[in-house]
A and B are shown apart, each in its own frame.
Chain A
Amino acid sequence: MRPRAKTNSPSGSAGVAEREEKDQIDADELREEHEHRKQEQRKHIEEVDNETLLRMLYQMILIRRFEEKAAEAYTLGKIGGFCHLYIGQEAVAVGTLSALRPDDYALTSYRDHGHALVMGISPDEVMAELFGKIGGCSKGKGGSMHLFDADKHFLGGHAIVGGQIPLATGIAFATKYRDTDQVTLCYFGEAAVNQGAFHESLNMAQLWKLPCIYVCENNQYGMGTSLARAMSQSNVAEKACSYDIASEFVDGMDVLAVRAATERAIERARTDYLPSLLEVRTYRFMGHSMSDPGHYRTRAEIERYQERDPIKVFGNSLREKNVLDDAGLKEIEDRVRAEVERAVKFADSSPEPAPEELYTDIYATPIKQ
């Protein structure tokens, strides 16, 4: 088991004043870590080829712009229900998934747009799904929280907190049952760690040695409740000790650090059928969902994290390495913008599901009822 890069200090229940104080401590810690991270990144960047690096940057920008467009569409009433944006967390999906093979599997929670895009579902299909159109990847029946593509091995956005964790465990069970070396990536927020499903799954995964990588995207808030106010022992990575599972704490604002940690977990899974738990510390720049007023955190806190915007940080590293220049960045931005605009156009023009669709896809063997 690898030691964690950094332990975050446990704390008891925090009132608002205490939280302010804690923010200050966190800020100091973050500065302290800054130098360390920079070194790590320089090391990682040498290990990845330029094409991959640029693709990763492109994917992160695609998610960012897609989500911005989704937010706009939501305010225009084109997207209904819940809409959970991934802005700020791009490095997690891109970093982890860039390490996967195409035949590996991934599942996540309801904050699933980013993962779906990186897993290869076209922005057209994702946007159409958000718009509730038949051209959506789930035919408009799932919506924002239930993006699926069986062919691309993206097995869903799941909307009961922690519900996807046993499912991912079962998929890992199935790949091992079939003696393949596929791995399954399972994403969830830190709030899901308090669900029984998390603990039951980690127990089974290690008990039966299942090749599942549990990625906790710790964005530090379960809706409006900060981690400190919800978890008695708020070090998620450390929970793995209870199940004798390897775990790492990863800087989720550093896409290459995420990728590197994932590669190590994949290695354990492919060769030894061993599960891992990654606690990826990240931060969502937007509210929990589009209907989140955001009263529970300070503007200063958000701005502090925005300084470490994963796209900006990664872009700078690429410039430093001469992989990226202004023209290159513009080229990516232009390409992404065109793609996102096309996606909106596609979603707008895709028809609504036909009324008959109401009664299809309930059973594989249709029943008369």
Chain B
Amino acid sequence: MAVMTMREALNQAMREEMQRDESVFLLGEEVAEYQGAYKVSKGLLEEFGGKRVIDSPITELGFAGLGVGAAMVGLRPVIEFMTFNFSILATDQIINSAAKMRYMSGGQFKIPIVFRGPNGSAFQVSSQHSQALESWYAHFPGLKVVMPSTPADAKGLLKSAIRDDDPVIFMEQERMYGIKGEVPEGEDFLVPLGVADVKREGKDATIIARSMTVPLALKAAEELEKQGVSVEVVDPRTIRPLDIETIINSVKKTNRVVIAEESHAFCGVAAEISAQIMERAFDYLDAPVLRVSGADVPMPYAKNLERLALPDVERIVKAVREVAYLD
């Protein structure tokens, strides 16, 4: 297995899928000549040409809708948002067109489209460029929402997303593009959507983490192990469909849950997971489910404030100790 960065893994996934299927094309701002704002599409223009790797004007609503139209008639667009912050401009097409087309046409259309790009916090880019939007998209039936946390998952999940016949919101993380990890080779390596991954086994408490909070949770688990607490880390990997079974099984084992996320807690994904745990595993809980979420404020610019607004290892450790009744 090759060791590569998340960026390279994503690049490899797109490259392999474009080689495999002529109907796959990449469209977005700066994806072609600039080689991608975050270099995820590096080299693709050279390999596949301008017909399939297309620089878009800054016109999110327009090119998102264009992608959905192309998908309606059988192409498999990969639409890159330079960041998901800008996808807010395109939500009409993502939600009103992509998510609902199949249903309101009585099942006549497949919408095999992937909207991808970095989501969540970046480094000191302030409020409009540093936010996590997964709960927006996960809210709507008709969409699938994927959030990888390792290079291997990123590759396997993106390949599955491109092959999927439904609209997939594929959320990467800018801070994680440089994370390195082993990635299985070959076109056939796929990670199915809707299957959670137990990133670490434990018995005293479960941390449910996604995207950026997975490495934080794993660090927290190491720290807690030194303190005699055995922590399981579950990464759902896809928010919709959510592999609630794996989560519930872990809850039944450990009885204590902390959910770590970058997004705001209010009406968020952790709130949903927490509700489902309550509905399905209430009798297995030994403590209230705790959330470690981004602060309920727009992201500040100042470095110290930004740090305070984000979940960190310390806060996760503290939450686990709290649910385990150790403090």
What is the interface of chain A, defined by CB distance below 8 A to chain B? Answer: 105, 136-142, 146, 148-150, 155-156, 158-160, 163, 165-175, 177, 196-197, 200-201, 203-204, 207-208, 360-365, 367-369
Query: In the complex, A363→B109 CA distance in Å?
Result: 10
For window 136-155 of chain B, which residues contact chain A by CB distance below 8 Å?
141-142, 144
Measured between C-beta atoms, what is the minimum distance from B269 to chain A in Å? 14
What is the interface of chain B, defined by CB distance below 8 A to chain A? Answer: 25, 51, 54, 56-57, 59, 61-75, 77, 92-93, 96-97, 101-112, 141-142, 144, 164-166, 193-194, 240-242
Known: A174-B69, A204-B66, A368-B241. A166 touches B107 (CB 8 A): no
* A179 (CB) vs chain B CBs: closest residue: B51
Query: In the complex, A172→B102 CA distance in Å?
Result: 20
Query: In the complex, A173→B56 CA distance in Å?
Result: 13
* B99 (CB) vs chain A CBs: closest residue: A362
Q: A-B contact count, CB below 8 Å? A: 152
Residues of B within 8 A of A169 (CB): 62, 65-66, 69
B70 touches A150 (CB 8 A): no
Residues of A within 8 A of B74 (CB): 174
* A198 (CB) vs chain B CBs: closest residue: B62
Contact of B97 among A163, A173, A196, A365 (CB under 8 A): A163
Measured between C-beta atoms, what is the minimum distance from A297 to chain B in Å? 30
Known: A197-B61, A201-B62. A150 touches B104 (CB 8 A): no
Residues of A within 8 A of B69 (CB): 155, 166-174
Measured between C-beta atoms, what is the minimum distance from A307 to chain B in Å? 38
Known: A362-B102, A364-B102. A171 touches B72 (CB 8 A): yes
Measured between C-beta atoms, what is the minimum distance from B142 to chain A in Å? 6
Query: In the complex, A170→B51 CA distance in Å?
Result: 14
Measured between C-beta atoms, what is the minimum distance from B194 to chain A in Å? 6
Residues of B within 8 A of A156 (CB): 101, 105
Query: In the complex, A138→B109 CA distance in Å?
Result: 11
Measured between C-beta atoms, what is the minimum distance from A257 to chain B in Å? 29
Q: A138-B108, A368-B194 are in contact. List 16 more A-B contacts (CB 8 A).
A: A105-B73, A136-B106, A141-B103, A141-B105, A148-B105, A160-B96, A163-B96, A166-B93, A170-B66, A170-B68, A173-B70, A173-B75, A174-B69, A201-B66, A203-B57, A203-B62
A-B contact pairs, 22 of them (CB 8 A): A141-B104, A148-B105, A148-B109, A150-B108, A155-B72, A166-B63, A167-B93, A167-B97, A170-B69, A171-B72, A174-B70, A174-B74, A177-B25, A177-B70, A201-B62, A363-B144, A363-B165, A364-B166, A367-B194, A367-B240, A369-B241, A369-B242
Query: In the complex, A238→B48 CA distance in Å?
Result: 38
A174 touches B75 (CB 8 A): yes
Contact of A361 among B56, B61, B102 (CB under 8 A): B102
Query: In the complex, A75→B144 CA distance in Å?
Result: 40
Residues of A within 8 A of B56 (CB): 204
Query: In the complex, A196→B165 CA distance in Å?
Result: 28
Query: In the complex, A364→B141 CA distance in Å?
Result: 12
